[in-house]
A and B are shown apart, each in its own frame.
Chain A
Amino acid sequence: GAVVSQHPSRVICKSGTSVKIECRSLDFQATTMFWYRQFPKKSLMLMATSNEGSKATYEQGVEKDKFLINHASLTLSTLTVTSAHPEDSSFYICSAGLASDTQYFGPGTRLTVL
């Protein structure tokens, strides 16, 4: 089946620094990737839709200048959390869509901001 990877799987950073998370579709090309945030014991919240070669579409309430998304190729999207603060600590998950409309999810990245 379709495989989506994320790197790193977990990262700890100091407050004020920036962190980049990569999402790759390993065996298929994805024109659309999605970024979600999951809080403990909570559902996934869609942050943005990433389209290859164009600007990402952000959900209401998500700061686009804080969460920079780049979809450089059909197999890679990156999420950069800029000037991270402790409240940004969370589990970030990406997914990639196929033409069949099924989304395949990455294993997630645990971000801890000290």
Chain B
Amino acid sequence: GDSVTQMEGPVTLSEEAFLTINCTYTATGYPSLFWYVQYPGEGLQLLLKATKADDKGSNKGFEATYRKETTSFHLEKGSVQVSDSAVYFCALRVQGGKLIFGQGTELSVKP
């Protein structure tokens, strides 16, 4: 069945470090792919999305490219800030609008 696998956390980085959070997926067809972020004590917010192969989603300095050949949608940011500390979820959208989430990756950025 459809599934999403993310790298396990927690990930701890120093401010201004480069961030990569790996995400791979298994799906039939060509799903839309998403990254959601959950800040402490808050609900999920859409960070970025890509709807077809080779699309690049970007927002707030984060970006991810839909790679069909490697079934991946890795999240990257060139220089993280303390305010980026949160849990990041990779997700794919299947038929009917359902979202299937990865297990989440907790990011902690130290000053």
Residues of chain A touching chain B, judged by Cβ–Cβ distance below 8 Å, are: 4, 6, 32, 34, 41-44, 46, 49, 93, 95, 97, 101-108
Contact = CB atoms under 8 A, between A and B. Distances in A.
Given A93-B43, A104-B46, A106-B43, A34 B102 contact: no
A61 to B, nearest CB: 13
A101 B98 contact: no
A15 to B, nearest CB: 26
A46 B99 contact: yes
B77 interface: no
Interface of B: 32, 36, 42-46, 49, 51, 89, 93, 96-104, 106
A60 B77 CA distance: 37
B21 to A, nearest CB: 14
B58 to A, nearest CB: 15
Contact of A49 (B42, B45, B96, B100): B96
Contacts, number: 49
A93 B44 contact: yes
Contacts of A101: 32, 51, 93, 97
B101 A103 contact: no
Q: What 8 A-B pairs have minimum CB-CB distances, sorted nearest first?
A: A107-B43, A105-B44, A43-B103, A43-B101, A105-B43, A44-B101, A97-B97, A108-B43
Contacts of B36: 105
A49 B44 CA distance: 18
Nearest to A31: B97
Nearest to B44: A105
A50 to B, nearest CB: 11
A46 B98 contact: yes
B46 A43 contact: no
A2 to B, nearest CB: 10
A44 B98 CA distance: 12
A106 B42 CA distance: 9
B49 A102 contact: yes
